[in-house]
Amino acid sequence: MLAIAAAAFGNEVEDRTLANLTLSPLPRWKIVAPKLLATISIAGPFIAASALLTAHIAFIADNTATLAVTASAIAGVAMYASLFLWLGLVSPQAIGLGLLYIVLWEGFFSGFVTGVRMLSIRHYAISLMHGLDERRFNFGTHPALATVVIISIVAFSGLLYLSIRRLRTMDIP
């Protein structure tokens, strides 16, 4: 997800072809939204199929658990895609920063500092999985399902808005 989403605009910024896109009389959201949807549609089916197959085998065809794992994987794909797309517009080293985010923030800090989990995409994907199948995934404390869905939508929309705003305000050579 990181490599595809960060490169969606990263290559155009690096190759200096982003100016051609922004000179067109299109609203910025019509430039950002297709890039985000393309990123999700390229990586999403692979991750969803992998999650579906793995959960189906691991949980011995338990449909509720399989659906919970697959839905949380798709939600995670959407949130990570919007984050890394924005990161690709913000920094030329988006892949390196994304790796630091995944390893340090998601992997290290969110495991040891409880408040950090509230700013972790992984936490909300796992909480969604927990909310969809509380019987199978009853470990740790998680927000309510409605809260997780609302926060996930707000995070996705907020990062999409930040990407559109960044494209509007950045200096394009």
pLDDT tens digits along 105-140: 888 888 788 778 788 898 899 889 999 988 888 777
Amino acid at 164: I
Query: What is the total count of domains within the chain?
Result: 1
In the chain, the percentage of residues whose pLDDT exceeds 90 is: 45
**Domain of residue 119, residue span:** 2-169
Higher pLDDT, residue 38 or 94:
38
Q: pLDDT value at position 111? A: 78
CA-CA distance, 136 to 154, in Å (whole number)? 27
Q: pLDDT value at position 173? A: 58
Q: pLDDT value at position 138? A: 77
| Confidence check: pLDDT of 10 > 90 | no
Q: pLDDT value at position 115? A: 79
Cα distances from 77 to residues 51, 80, 83, 121, in angstroms, run 11, 5, 10, 10
Cα distances from 155 to residues 80, 168, 171, in angstroms, run 10, 20, 25
